[in-house]
Amino acid sequence: MNIGRIILGGFIAGIVANAGDYLINVYLMADEGTAMVQRLNLSAAAVEGSLVTWIVVDIILGLLLVFTYAGFRPRFGPGPRTAIIAGVTIWLAICAVFAGLMSMGIYTQQAYLKSSALTLANTVIASLAGAYFYRE
């Protein structure tokens, strides 16, 4: 594995994931987010204060996507197909965690399903972007 390229591709994937999450949260899931904040009685300051944490989470996500892609390359070969497989693999892990949060009532079923679909697209696009920069 080329650690330098994992880091480069991971940061690029993280930036792409951040941009996608901005689009998802500010435009595509704004109503669901507002409803969740109200339903859970969260403070607006706490929600806004979590922005840096979510940026870091997306950078870590990007690194994991490219690391997974690099690990899958020997079995599936280099290219977009393997990047998609890596992205879907990580997406499944994300969905499993958020299914647990849904079962606790943090997310409604409708918000979970919509978020999962949007996150699939975002994760695959970020994986493709990061994998593009990975070389052995």
Give the pLDDT score at 44. Answer: 86
Considering the entire predicted model, what is its pTM?
A: 0.94
User: Is the CA virtual torsion 85, 91, 97, 101 positive or negative?
Assistant: negative
- Nearest-5° Cα angle at 64, 7 to 121: 110
Neighbouring C-beta atoms of residue 19, cutoff 10 Å: 15
Q: Which residues contact 42 (CB under 8 A, 6 or more apart)?
A: 36
Task: Give the residue from 29, 84, 93, 85 showing the smallest Cα distance to 61.
Answer: 93
Per-residue pLDDT of the chain (136 residues; tens, 9 = 90+): 999 999 999 999 999 999 999 999 999 999 999 999 999 999 989 999 999 999 999 999 999 999 999 999 999 999 999 999 999 999 999 999 999 999 999 999 999 999 999 999 999 999 999 999 999 9
What are the CA-CA distances from residue 127 to residues 6, 33, 34, 86 (Å)? 11, 25, 29, 7
